[in-house]
A and B are shown apart, each in its own frame.
Chain A
Amino acid sequence: NAGVTQTPKFQVLKTGQSMTLQCAQDMNHEYMSWYRQDPGMGLRLIHYSVGAGITDQGEVPNGYNVSRSTTEDFPLRLLSAAPSQTSVYFCASKGQRIYGYTFGSGTRLTVV
């Protein structure tokens, strides 16, 4: 049981480049979320999904897109990377009747 798997673990991008952060879970969880964590800040919600085909914006959605075509996968797309998007990104999932989210191990992104 792999839980929540994020790839890549590390990434360096140049300003203006685009990329997709991958997130997959094998627990058949309905809810999936993307957070970013910056020094001195709490985790902030970027986008979330309550089921396949359903996504919505969180607190800091600008510059990011998501889709949820399957229950298992919830990729996060950076459209045109900016240095302000340098951060650690965590994907998380939970079942509808389960307390607490399970987090992936994170992707450390640097935009230069």
Chain B
Amino acid sequence: RKEVEQDPGPFNVPEGATVAFNCTYSNSASQSFFWYRQDCRKEPKLLMSVYSSGNEDGRFTAQLNRASQYISLLIRDSKLSDSATYLCVVNDGGGADGLTFGKGTHLIIQP
């Protein structure tokens, strides 16, 4: 079975701090990579795609290491509103774009 592994946390981080978490994936043929955000009892929402060269969206930076098969997400200057579960998602290119979800990393930003 194709696996996407994440540290479930929780990560307790003070407001304003920088936090980073990684995920690893098992399928070396995986084609594209995403971070989704899921708030408690809500649906997942796309946070950002992850590109091989690394990419940034405001306070969020995502990086991909294909050789080691891991993906990272860095959040700078964390806000209370960043508290959520972050899902690492890998597209294996199968049916319906073959998404495999990690179980998520729970982040709590503390005032």
Contacts from A to B (Cβ < 8 Å): 31-33, 35, 40-45, 48-50, 56, 58-59, 90, 94, 99-106
Contacts and interface: CB of A to CB of B under 8 A. Distances in A.
Contact of A48 (B36, B44, B96, B104): B96
A70 B34 CA distance: 28
B103 A99 contact: no
Interface of B: 1, 4, 32, 34, 36, 42-46, 49, 87, 95-97, 99-104
B97 A40 contact: no
A104 B43 contact: yes
Given A42-B100, A100-B46, A103-B44, 15 more contacts: A31-B96, A32-B96, A42-B87, A42-B101, A44-B101, A45-B96, A48-B96, A50-B95, A58-B95, A59-B1, A100-B34, A100-B36, A103-B45, A105-B42, A105-B43
